[in-house]
Chain A
Amino acid sequence: MTIVPTLKKDYIYKLAGQGKRIDGRAFDEYRPIVIEPGIIRKAEGSARVKIGNTQVVTGIKMDVGEPYPDTPESGVITTSAELIPMASPDFEAGPPQEDAIELARVVDRGIRESEVIKLEELCIEPGEKIWIIFIDIHVIDYDGNLFDCASLASLAALYTTMVPAEKFDLGDDYPLPMRDEPPISCTAAKFNDAVVFDPILDEEEIAEARLTVATDVNGDIRAMQKGLSGGFTVEEVKKVIKGAVVNGREIREKLWDSVKKAKEEKGE
């Protein structure tokens, strides 16, 4: 474990007390976001997203399989995340630990509960054959805020995914049926009574508590996850939700722009 010098923590706290952050951003400001869909040719869908220096690549693979017994006419999603050793000196090789599992499950819930993928259109033969979507999140550079980066990479990948029907003799390939209103996940961290959005690594390392909120186009809340062992006041939670709605809107636009551009380049 890399030890954070107490001095650094004190300095970040001091700045927070003056309404400042270690990298000069405002409390509700995100780092530059770069979204690049379609970078992996072997995958049915993919995207690389950078938020500041944090970098995540998500790949979508699809296969034909059996439906779950209680949803015989619905496609299936399965999400996994890997915090690979190259992303941080503190990540170890091996099966996913609780951080990777939490990341996968939070991203999965955000996508599943919002029903942004039209799973009901992914039935091939009721009760027998449906499409399975594998969402694989590959974290390659960790500088804070994996939840938002992984979520965004997964959405950008899904919106540019082509169902590989030809491969299974089920007709021509077609775009994965998606709803147009993705909830966007926004994460805030709390330290020394300051609540900041898009925490950079230095801030995450000293954060007492973390809150991720996914909001939709109407400003409604679609998913929430509180992390770390500190606490939030009710007021702080409300502030985070408001900030998540505002930032969510901006990020959703960026997502649309990049997806549109990727589709144009492919000639769809």
Chain B
Amino acid sequence: MPPPPMRKVVLPGQYLGDSRYLKPGRGTFIEKGKIYAMVLGVFERKGNIVQVIPLKGRYNPVIGDFVIGIIEEAMPSSWLVDINAPYPALLHVSETPWEIEYGDAEKYLKTGDSIMAKVLLIDAERKLQLTLNDRNLYKIRGGHIIDVEPSKVPRIIGKRGSMINLLKRLTRCRIIVGQNGRIWIDGDDENIAKLLLAIRIIEEESVSYGLTDKIERLLKMMT
């Protein structure tokens, strides 16, 4: 059975190639010298590495990722944060720009607050820690947050930011995309409505070619 051509959707268990000639990348596994897809996704080959970019699934955290989190619970010196991953993440008071006394964490961030954070570390047990210690990390005020499939984030950003810059330019909205599929947006109501529509279309047609042009035409038409 020949391996699939480029930009093709593959399914779990689908044969991708022989490990004698190819190397297994993300989204794949090897069994008896053969490489197979592990998830529903798009097949990609870079040189002699074959990989599958997942089309669905929860966010898979990577150290250094920029994420938008929602505070689930405030504890005496830390917070439990929902980042749409299989496990909740922890933010310790020492990883914030504030001087917080023991027991005062809730005064700074409480349940329901949203934060721009970074994944600091992931331990052997898959437990995550976040940080707010960086110039562009903070507690979010104003605007609106929407959720998209984490697997669609690269498409919403586009090659070298081509898609997100297009969206910013034609809707005049401020847009910040978290790797975990949360997007913060701010702008006037009409433009936000346009932006939301564009994002939904990108989500639905993420596998198509020519999507950037299609979105550009659509947004220009709506002006």
Quick check: B193 and A8 within 8 Å, CB to CB?
A: no
Nearest A residue (CB) for B73: A3
Q: Within 8 Å of chain B (Cβ to Cβ): is A9?
A: yes
* Shortest Cβ gap from B175 to chain A (Å): 15
Chain B, range 38-93, C-beta contacts under 8 Å to A: 70-72, 82
Quick check: B112 and A3 within 8 Å, CB to CB?
A: yes
Quick check: B72 and A7 within 8 Å, CB to CB?
A: no
* Shortest Cβ gap from A22 to chain B (Å): 9
Residues of B within 8 A of A10 (CB): 142
Chain A, range 5-21, C-beta contacts under 8 Å to B: 5-11, 15, 18, 20
* Shortest Cβ gap from B94 to chain A (Å): 24
Quick check: B114 and A7 within 8 Å, CB to CB?
A: yes
Whole-angstrom distance between the alpha carbons of A4 and B144 in the complex?
Answer: 12
Contacts A15-B189, A18-B189 given: A9-B112 contact, CB under 8 Å? Answer: yes
Residues of A within 8 A of B111 (CB): 3
When each residue 117-136 of chain A gets 1 if its CB lies under 8 Å from chain B and 0 otherwise, what string results? 00000000000000000000
When each residue 186-223 of chain B gets 1 if its CB lies under 8 Å from chain A and 0 otherwise, what string results? 00010001000000000000000000000000000000
Contacts A3-B70, A18-B189, A20-B189 given: A11-B144 contact, CB under 8 Å? Answer: yes
Quick check: B140 and A7 within 8 Å, CB to CB?
A: yes
Quick check: A4 and B143 within 8 Å, CB to CB?
A: no
When each residue 127-149 of chain B gets 1 if its CB lies under 8 Å from chain A and 0 otherwise, what string results? 00000000000001011110000
Contacts A8-B144, A11-B143, A11-B144 given: A3-B193 contact, CB under 8 Å? Answer: no
Nearest B residue (CB) for A10: B142
Name the residue among B71, B111, B112, B189 with the largest chain A CB count within 10 angstroms: B112
Nearest B residue (CB) for A2: B82
Nearest B residue (CB) for A11: B144
Whole-angstrom distance between the alpha carbons of A11 and B186 in the complex?
Answer: 10
Nearest B residue (CB) for A18: B189
Say which residue of A6, A11, A15, A18 sits within 8 Å of B113 (CB atoms).
A6
Q: Within 8 Å of chain B (Cβ to Cβ): is A24?
A: yes
Quick check: A24 and B193 within 8 Å, CB to CB?
A: yes
Residues of B within 8 A of A11 (CB): 143-144
Quick check: A7 and B193 within 8 Å, CB to CB?
A: no
Residues of B within 8 A of A7 (CB): 114, 140, 142-145, 184
Whole-angstrom distance between the alpha carbons of A8 and B82 in the complex?
Answer: 15
Quick check: B72 and A8 within 8 Å, CB to CB?
A: no
Residues of A within 8 A of B142 (CB): 7, 10
Residues of A within 8 A of B114 (CB): 5-7
Nearest A residue (CB) for B82: A3
Whole-angstrom distance between the alpha carbons of A7 and B82 in the complex?
Answer: 14
* Shortest Cβ gap from B216 to chain A (Å): 23
Say which residue of A3, A9, A20 sits within 8 Å of B72 (CB atoms).
A3
Chain B, range 138-173, C-beta contacts under 8 Å to A: 140, 142-145
Quick check: A5 and B70 within 8 Å, CB to CB?
A: yes
Say which residue of B82, B112, B189, B193 sits within 8 Å of A6 (CB atoms).
B112
Residues of A within 8 A of B145 (CB): 5, 7-8
Residues of A within 8 A of B144 (CB): 7-8, 11
Whole-angstrom distance between the alpha carbons of A9 and B112 in the complex?
Answer: 9
Where the two chains meet, the residues of A that have a C-beta atom closer than 8 Å to any C-beta of B are 2-11, 15, 18, 20, 24
- Closest 10 A/B residue pairs (Cβ): A6-B112, A11-B144, A5-B70, A5-B114, A7-B114, A3-B72, A7-B145, A3-B70, A5-B145, A5-B112
Where the two chains meet, the residues of B that have a C-beta atom closer than 8 Å to any C-beta of A are 70-72, 82, 111-114, 140, 142-145, 184, 189, 193
A–B pairs, 6, beta carbons within 8 Å:
A5-B114, A6-B113, A6-B114, A8-B145, A18-B189, A20-B189
